Amino acid sequence: MLNYLDFETSDDGEGITTFDAMAYATAERWPALRAEVEQVLEWCSAQFGQPGSLEHDHPWDLDLQLQSKSGHALAVHWDAQQRRLVAPDAALCEAVQLSLTISGNESFALSLESRFLGDDA
pLDDT in tens, the chain (121 residues): 799 999 999 999 889 999 999 999 999 999 999 999 999 999 999 999 999 999 999 999 999 999 999 999 999 999 988 999 999 999 999 999 999 999 999 999 999 999 998 755 5
- A 10 A CB-CB count for 71 gives 7
Q: What is the pLDDT of residue 5?
A: 95
- Report how far apart, in Å, the C-alpha atoms of 26 and of each of 31, 71, 77 are: 10, 14, 19
Rounded to 5 degrees, φ, ψ at 30 are: -55, -45
Q: What is the pLDDT of residue 1?
A: 78
Q: Which phi-psi region, left, alpha or beta, contains residue 16 (left: φ > 0; alpha: ψ -120 to 50)? A: beta
Q: CA–CA separation, 107 vs 5, rounded Å?
A: 21
Q: What is the pLDDT of residue 37?
A: 97
Q: What is the pLDDT of residue 118?
A: 77
Q: What is the pLDDT of residue 28?
A: 95
Give the residues across from 67 on adjacent strands: 73, 97
H or E stretch at 23 = strand 17-26
Could you tell me where the DSSP H helices lie in the chain?
30-48, 106-112
